[in-house]
Structure 1
């Protein structure tokens, strides 16, 4: 079953080798001309911006087609590239878990409609603008409260 899920995500050829050992990691300076899609935010060079978004007192968290359309709108607003989207509904509470896999990374959602709560991760590199997803999510789910935390991933890589 895990292999099927990995295959659906295009990860069937990636296998964990428990015999692998940790290798020494070397760092290199940031080169703006390099096409590795690293970004610079507020003077910090990093792999990308990762937003942790909590929606409280939110609506339509059990409406799978609506959630899919909203994630696609987030991708469009951020200027990202959608590769694949997979959402899974849960019964009996109607919660949804899923991910939009992007060329620039991903957007994931886990919802608890019985608590009017959703947890989202929005991680993007390159020229994509993940902060634009916040307005899309606010308009779609109408949360009474929203919390957004930012992580700059891959600093020093």
Structure 2
């Protein structure tokens, strides 16, 4: 049960608008970032929400990992996103992999402001 749980609230994202509205595009990036960090995806769900009066709908991208999960939520009307990375494993410390995944996801969105938190669990 021990692991590292990272969260980030990203504000004023300067990324291309598609990263905030296209679930297939964002989902593919999530899967690539997971693999690049040395983690193992075992399932995923990528969902685009319907448009509102304020514009295109946001996206939720969730990747279930053998080590736990990655979850991304976007709010295109606010140019914002939230990230949640939890990596746990009895066999070893995967904190560096969690941090690499968080960095890859944060870099994608190019936020002007970031509020990050880290929690050692277990």
Structure-2-length-normalised TM-score: 0.80
More strand, by proportion: 2
The number of residue pairs the alignment matches comes to 109
Greater relative contact order (Cα 8 A, min sep 6): structure 1 or 2?
Answer: 2
Counterpart mapping for 1:50-129 below 5 A: 50-58=5-13, 59=15, 60-92=19-51, 93-126=56-89, 127-128=93-94, 129=97
> Please, which runs of 5 or more residues in structure 1 have no aligned partner?
1-37, 39-46
By how many angstroms is 1:85 displaced? 1.0
Please provide the CA RMSD for this pair. Answer: 1.6
Judge conservation of contact 2:24–2:46 (CA < 8 Å) in 1.
no
Given candidates 103, 111, 121, the residue that maps to 1:143 is 111
Paired position in structure 2 for 1:48: 3
Structure-1-length-normalised TM-score: 0.64
- Please tell me whether Structure 1 or Structure 2 has the larger radius of gyration of its CA atoms: 1
By how many angstroms is 1:97 displaced? 1.4
> Please, which runs of 5 or more residues in structure 2 have no aligned partner?
none
**Following superposition, which runs of at least 4 residues in structure 1 exceed 3 angstroms of deviation?**
none
Judge conservation of contact 1:97–1:110 (CA < 8 Å) in 2.
yes
More helix, by proportion: 2
